[in-house]
């Protein structure tokens, strides 16, 4: 077990974790809300440092990031545990494990050096901290991020945005791109379906954008829970007014079969996804994308000025028709980081 850095002592036996907005007070022998951090004799330890349980080489489009190094591959890893408990979670087998025990894992230790070496050896241009919430393993992520930068690799977080100010301030200098979930604009939804609050997520989105880090937003549209067009309009208006109209918004379809606790809900209809797409466009967003609707033309990038097709997407295959990030017809900047 690796001693954590982001915590403080409350008294002889209790510590407070400082990584996310839960700010868990953890007594001796207990773990935090994410199950990944344990108080042992008055010190806080990460149970997951060096032990990713999922590693893949993914197209960057899978994160999803559509305007950041399109067509590149990203070395992606995640650990066990999570500070959110989303009933719709698709990675629940790793994220919702309550009894994380490093010694019983019988797993290979992946040092930060090994992660970077593997990323370079597999021709990846970036490393993605994804699959579960990277905030809860920020010490491990940060050690990898420093090394990655020194080796000309970019760093991508796929996050729920619930990190503390201390965590975000530590991560920002090493971060290149983020996809943040805004799951709803309703605090009740965050309380009921996730066990968290949504205000810190909005504040962190603003800080990330102000720090000039590439940002894309994702919203999963869950029938009856997060498919209300008025609520979706609030998300779109927030992105336009508080972030920027150039921030891409991914609206994706929910599939009950692979969800943790929402298997009785129906799949999101295409009509609801199309309605959400129109909400985003009417709010003034330049780039709105449908997700989990293979073959849908709304996954393509079109020039927001003249409407010319700039990037065609089919699954994770892409065809570049733009001119190095500019529209091939009218030369408009398409807000793409090459
Ligand atoms: S990362 Fe968040 S949920 Fe986990 S122990 Fe720290 S404050 Fe609690």
Q: What is the CATH number of the domain that holds 65?
A: 3.20.20.70
Per the structure block, which two tokens stand in for 11?
């008294």
Ligand 1 center to 43 CA (angstroms): 14
Atom of ligand 1 nearest to the CA of 162: 2
Atom of ligand 1 nearest to the CA of 20: 2
Per the structure block, which two tokens stand in for 265?
């809900």
Nearest CA to ligand 1 atom 1: 136
Nearest CA to ligand 1 atom 6: 17
Residue 106 pLDDT more than 80?
no
In terms of domains, do 168 and 279 share one? yes
Q: Is the pTM of this model over 0.95?
A: yes
Nearest CA to ligand 1 atom 7: 23
Grouping H, G, I as helix, E, B as strand and the rest as coil, residue 54 is strand
Using one digit for the tens of pLDDT, what is the confidence trace for 40-75? 999 999 999 999 999 999 999 999 999 999 999 999
In terms of domains, do 66 and 175 share one? yes
Ligand 1 pocket, Cβ-based, cut-off 6 angstroms: 17, 19-20, 22-24, 32-34, 37, 83, 135-136
The per-residue DSSP string of 241-290 comes to: III-TTS-EEEEE--GGG-SS-TTSPPPPHHHHHHHHHHHHHHT-S-EEE
Q: What is the mean pLDDT of the chain?
A: 95
Ligand 1 center to 165 CA (angstroms): 13
Mean pLDDT value of segment 223-230:
96
What's the pLDDT band for 212 if we cut at 50, 70, 90? Answer: very high
In terms of domains, do 307 and 277 share one? no
In terms of domains, do 93 and 202 share one? yes
Comparing 159 with 91, which gets the higher pLDDT?
159
Residue appearing with tokens 């007014």 = 241
In terms of domains, do 30 and 73 share one? no
Question: Which alpha helices (H) appear in the chain, and where do they start and end?
Answer: 92-95, 112-121, 138-150, 165-171, 187-193, 199-210, 229-238, 270-283
In terms of domains, do 235 and 335 share one? no
- What's the pLDDT at 104? 62
Residue 135 pLDDT more than 70?
yes
Domain, as residue range, for 329? 300-338
Residue 45, beta-bridge partner list:
3, 38
Nearest CA to ligand 1 atom 4: 34
- What's the pLDDT at 95? 85
What's the pLDDT band for 105 if we cut at 50, 70, 90? Answer: low
In terms of domains, do 61 and 169 share one? yes
> Beta strands 37-40 and 309-314: pairing type?
unpaired
In terms of domains, do 168 and 284 share one? yes
In terms of domains, do 68 and 190 share one? yes
In terms of domains, do 116 and 9 share one? no
In terms of domains, do 198 and 245 share one? yes
- What's the pLDDT at 6? 98
What's the pLDDT band for 258 if we cut at 50, 70, 90? Answer: confident
Residue 337 pLDDT more than 70?
yes
Atom of ligand 1 nearest to the CA of 16: 7
Residue 189 pLDDT more than 70?
yes
In terms of domains, do 256 and 270 share one? yes
- What's the pLDDT at 102? 63
- What's the pLDDT at 162? 98
For residue 37, report the phi and psi dihedrals to the nearest 5 degrees. -135, 130
Number of domains in the chain: 3
For residue 122, report the phi and psi dihedrals to the nearest 5 degrees. -105, 20
């Amino acid at each position: 077990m690796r001693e954590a850095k982001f915590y403080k002592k409350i008294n002889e036996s209790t510590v407070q974790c400082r990584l996310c907005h839960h700010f868990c007070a953890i007594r001796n022998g207990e773990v935090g809300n994410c199950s990944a951090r344990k108080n042992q004799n008055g010190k806080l330890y990460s149970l997951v440092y060096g032990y990713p349980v999922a590693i893949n080489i993914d197209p960057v489009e899978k994160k999803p990031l559509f305007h950041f190094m399109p067509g590149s591959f990203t070395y992606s890893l995640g650990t066990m545990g999570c500070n959110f408990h989303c009933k719709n979670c698709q990675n629940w087998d790793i994220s919702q494990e309550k009894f994380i025990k490093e010694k019983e894992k019988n797993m290979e230790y992946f040092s930060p050096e090994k992660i970077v070496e593997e990323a370079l050896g597999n021709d990846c241009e970036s490393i993605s901290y994804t699959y579960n919430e990277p905030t809860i393993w920020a010490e491990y992520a940060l050690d990898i991020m420093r090394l990655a930068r020194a080796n000309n690799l970019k760093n991508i977080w796929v996050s729920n945005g619930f990190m503390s100010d201390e965590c975000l301030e530590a991560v920002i200098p090493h971060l290149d791109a983020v996809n943040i979930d805004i799951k709803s604009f309703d605090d009740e939804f965050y309380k009921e379906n996730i066990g968290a609050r949504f205000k810190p997520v909005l504040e962190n989105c603003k800080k990330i954008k102000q720090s000039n880090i590439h940002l894309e937003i994702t919203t999963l549209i869950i029938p009856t829970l997060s498919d209300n067009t008025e609520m979706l309009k609030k998300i779109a208006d927030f992105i336009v007014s508080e972030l920027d109209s150039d921030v891409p918004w991914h609206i994706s379809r929910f599939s009950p079969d692979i969800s943790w606790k929402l298997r009785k809900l129906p799949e999101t209809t295409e009509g609801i996804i199309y309605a959400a797409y129109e909400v985003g466009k009417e709010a003034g967003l330049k780039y709105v994308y449908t997700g989990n609707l293979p073959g849908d033309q709304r996954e393509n990038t079109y020039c927001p000025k003249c409407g010319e097709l700039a990037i065609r997407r089919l699954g994770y295959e892409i065809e570049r028709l733009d001119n190095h990030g500019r529209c091939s017809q009218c030369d408009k900047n398409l807000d793409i980081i090459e």
